[in-house]
Chain A
Amino acid sequence: MSPEVLLRAVDVVKHFPVQSSQLRRSREVVHAVDGVSLEIRQGETVGLVGETGCGKSTLARCMARLQDLTSGTIEFEGEDISRRKPRQLGRIRRDMQMIFQDPYGSLNPKRRVGAIIGDPFAIHDIADGKERKRRVQEMMELVGLNPEHYNRFPAEFSGGQRQRIGVARALALKPKLVICDEPVSALDVSIRAQVLNLLVDLQKQLSLTYVFISHDLSVVRHVSDRLLLMYLGKVVESGQSRDLYAHPRHPYANALLSAVPLPDPRKAAEREKIVLAGDVPSPIRPPVACRFHPRCPKAQPRCAEVEPLLEPRLGDPVDHVTACHFPVADGESLRSAQSSLPDDLRVIEPEPTPETVDVVGSVGSSEEADKS
């Protein structure tokens, strides 16, 4: 019996009008999110991964109803909340919370920490006075802050501590779903592990469900059960974490994984390094059909004509889906891939030198340099 579905997003689309400084006649839109569907089940941690601009943060804000949807639906515990006005969201605001990325911007510098964490209690009229203070201090202890610092200002805390304050604020009302928008990206690397561990511990303790957003695959791997990989507003691959890491199907997934730093220098040197040509195109005019085709080492003419659907490929289990016409098989090398797309549809760059990609693989790189 699978656990209940907490949140379901169906075909969510979010377009932003382009701000034009000259004339107001520009009808162009930023295709931030273009038809994403997903389900979050109670108790799991779903990772939402992608580079900057892929739409993951926008999607998160749509799910949390901090943004209106252009089209599509969001259901929370079966209720359709897609069209509700802020005032009608009521209970949802208690059950679905967000942890923000910037420890320096997400806390009001002029308010004391006790007041900040106490906000949820105040807003929803749950506790006040001594009772509120007690519960706030309870939360502070829970996240590893000294409850005696109740009257301090955010400026007096370090980045890691501030994130803990943000966590305390988000969890104060024991929400069911917590959306973490790059919660550790702005922290020093040494602090990240602490905060991540805190999040994992709290999940067990409070039976939380997480949506974990990040651009850093190594971070997400540590915490997620399932992963969704996004590119230019669409999901390109999704499945169980283990499956995805072991058998990445989409060429984009392969490229990203090849760039994740590995602790073992030998393995790093042996690993195939895939460098994609060009940058992520503008979301105002995304490429037609498969959005990845201009940069894909395996692109064929079909990729520029027909959009691939999210389906299990190459015999994958039913929950591992990929949107690609020519997915990467186990053991397949992308280095030697040939693209048969005409040149005007592709991004071509001169052969990049591998040293720029892999810091650890110095042995490998000098060999390459000797060859060329």
Chain B
Amino acid sequence: MTNPGALPTSEVLGEAIGDEAVAHVIEGRSTWQLAWARFRKDRIAMVSAGVIVLVVLVAIFAPVFASLTGHGVNEQFRQTGLNAYGLPEPPSGRFLLGSDDLGRDILVRIAYGARISLFVGVVATLLTVAIGAVLGLMAGYFGGIVDSVIARLVDLVLSLPFLLFAISLVSVTQPGLTIVIVVIGVFGWAAVARIVRGQVLSIREKEYIEAARSLGASAWRIMFVDILPNVLTQLIVYTTLLIPITIVLEATLSYLGLGIPPPTADWGQMIAESQNLYQQAWWFLVFPSAALLITTLAFNLLGDGIRDALDPGLARL
């Protein structure tokens, strides 16, 4: 091979590497590229992704629905929208999905309601995950007092019945968009932190972390540049599964009267309003419920698909 004293040059070593090398022809494929390839083959996942895109589009173009039907989102049409007895009108050419108890167009309201659900679902989830991930990283990496405090906090938060405390928090403030997001964040971070902490504890002992320390990397650099990428997969899977949970949580809070206050269009709220009238106006109950159900279902299926794409070893049983 090479003569012993000479420095290894690329061409010479090319041959040596050729013997050793595993796959020097294929370009480096990251976890993400591989996952995307797997995801594309999963029909159900692709369909659910499509549905979500649809919902997002509906949310974005909600005003279009309003202008096309000529019905503003909070406009009450007492003449055309309510019948002689003051009850809502069934689906027709004028009100495609019917009208509600105040003569408002349900189709338009569902479109606007999508905005709230998606916004809260995504923003609250991202907030929760961000807080939980950082705290989990800190607890796992620093250990000691930091870990004890955070871990105890996690245990406490996880043992509290969420809805009950959400009710308490909302009762001392006003219901509204911000408080809903805050409440979800305050209780949701714990589960994320626990998962991240567990992962960090096992990654912390790996040699490449020791190598980073020996290079002089600061604790924060190690946490975010070295540890986080190895936790990211789990984190992403958890996020996609957390979004539908958040959406349902927001809808539930609104249903109970603790969420977005009227007259803002919100699916949970619409469903609550329909409860007294479903016997006369089934569409008022059914359509918002269907919207909620379809969205949640799509996110759950998407979450499953993403999990399978990122980590095929897992639950594809």
Contact = CB atoms under 8 A, between A and B. Distances in A.
Say if A and B assemble together.
yes
Interface of A: 64, 66, 86-87, 89-90, 93-94, 97-98, 100-102, 105-112, 119-120, 123-124, 141-147, 149, 151-153, 156-158, 160-161, 166, 169, 191, 194, 197-198, 201, 205
A111 B17 contact: no
A150 to B, nearest CB: 9
A94 B216 contact: yes
Contacts of A156: 22-23, 26, 28
B279 interface: no
Contact of B7 (A66, A112, A158, A201): A201
Contacts of A205: 7
The 3 closest A-B pairs by CB, nearest first: A93-B216, A144-B8, A110-B229
13 contacts: A86-B213, A87-B218, A102-B207, A108-B230, A123-B218, A145-B13, A145-B17, A146-B13, A146-B14, A146-B17, A152-B27, A156-B28, A201-B7
Contacts of A191: 20
Nearest to A179: B214
A166 B28 CA distance: 19
Contacts of B230: 108-110
A152 B28 CA distance: 5
Given A97-B215, A110-B232, A191-B20, 9 more contacts: A94-B216, A98-B214, A109-B230, A110-B229, A112-B28, A141-B10, A151-B28, A156-B22, A156-B28
Interface in B197-218: 206-208, 210-218
A152 B25 CA distance: 11
B211 A93 contact: no
Please indicate which of the listed interface residues B21, B210, B212, B216 has the most CB atoms of chain A within 10 Å of its own CB: B216
Interface residues of B, number: 38
A158 B21 CA distance: 6
Please indicate which of the listed interface residues A87, A109, A120, A144 has the most CB atoms of chain B within 10 Å of its own CB: A144
Interface of B: 4-5, 7-10, 13-14, 16-17, 20-24, 26-28, 30-31, 206-208, 210-218, 221, 225-226, 229-230, 232
Contact of A153 (B30, B211, B217): B30
A108 B229 contact: yes
A120 B7 CA distance: 24
B214 A93 contact: yes
A24 to B, nearest CB: 15
Contacts of B31: 110
B28 A144 contact: no
Contacts of A112: 28
A160 B8 CA distance: 14
Contact of B221 (A123, A145, A146, A158): A123
A110 B217 CA distance: 17
Contacts of A90: 216
Contact of B22 (A143, A157, A197): A157
B21 A157 contact: yes
Contacts of B27: 151-152
A109 B227 CA distance: 11
Contacts of A158: 20-22
Contacts of B10: 141, 144, 146-147
Nearest to A158: B20
Please indicate which of the listed interface residues B7, B22, B211, B213 has the most CB atoms of chain A within 10 Å of its own CB: B211
A109 B26 CA distance: 17
A92 B5 CA distance: 31
Contact of A161 (B7, B17, B213, B226): B17
Contact of A144 (B16, B24, B212): B16
A98 B211 contact: yes
A123 B8 contact: no
Contacts of A108: 208, 212, 226, 229-230
A106 B207 contact: yes
Nearest to B19: A158
A271 B181 CA distance: 79
Contacts of A119: 212, 215, 217
A122 to B, nearest CB: 8
Nearest to B210: A66
B178 to A, nearest CB: 36
Please indicate which of the listed interface residues B10, B14, B26 has the most CB atoms of chain A within 10 Å of its own CB: B10
B295 to A, nearest CB: 32
A201 B9 CA distance: 12
Contacts of B17: 144-146, 161
A287 to B, nearest CB: 31
A106 B213 contact: no
B13 A144 contact: yes
Contacts of B9: 141
B220 to A, nearest CB: 12
Contact of A100 (B20, B26, B210, B217): B210
Contacts of A106: 207-208, 210-211
A153 B17 CA distance: 16
Contacts of B226: 108, 111
Nearest to B8: A144
Contacts of B30: 153
Contacts of A98: 211, 214
Contacts of B212: 108, 119
A152 B30 CA distance: 9
B221 A166 contact: no
Given A107-B208, A110-B229, A120 B20 contact: no
Contacts of A157: 21-22
A144 B230 CA distance: 28
Nearest to B23: A156
Contacts of A166: 211
Nearest to A143: B8
A198 B226 CA distance: 28
A105 B214 contact: no
Contacts of B5: 201
Nearest to B14: A146
Nearest to B206: A105
A151 B24 CA distance: 12
A87 B8 CA distance: 37
Contacts of B13: 144-146
B20 A123 contact: no
Contacts of A198: 8
